[in-house]
Amino acid sequence: MLYDLAEEELWSDLTVNLDDTLPAGCPFVPHDQRVYLDAIIAELANQRARSAWERGVVAYAESTLEDLDPECELYPRTVEKVLLNGAPSWHNYSWGGCALIYDADIAERLCSPSGLSRSDNGRRRPNAREEWLDTQTRACFQAAQLVKRIACTHERSAA
């Protein structure tokens, strides 16, 4: 995969920093990966997403987890690195073709029916500052944060 590194500085806030601290009391406990992954996917399925954006974020989280190798080591501290699947940042993940690549598909996943109509089914930019792939970058970042929060909560309940 080719990643556009020229804009890396613009997206430094969405890059992975493995030194980020987890919520207080979040343990780092080894576990059976498949059971753990299934529990996270089940928790995502139970999310009460109220808006089209929230449903889209949950869909990105589910799709990235379903594409994971069952042998991957998914811990709260490594969630983001594992989900990035080798990409250095969420910007590179999105623009590098690791997620949806067509504007219409991204718009359909993230927009309400009225928003989809307003954007002419993805033919128009989502806003003045972004392309659809930038919007997808934000959604993927939020999806990773959601998975990280669920993983940490699941670890606490298992400990």
Tell me: the pLDDT tens digits for 108-151? 999 999 999 999 999 999 999 999 999 999 999 999 999 999 98
pLDDT at 67: 80
Residue ranges in the chain modelled with pLDDT below 70:
1-32, 70, 154-159
Would you tell me the crossing angle of helices 33-45 and 132-158 to the nearest 10 degrees? 120
Q: Percent of the chain scored above 70 by pLDDT? A: 75
- CA-CA distances (angstroms) from residue 45 to 2, 48, 65? 32, 8, 12
pLDDT at 38: 82
pLDDT at 156: 60
pLDDT at 34: 72
pLDDT at 27: 44
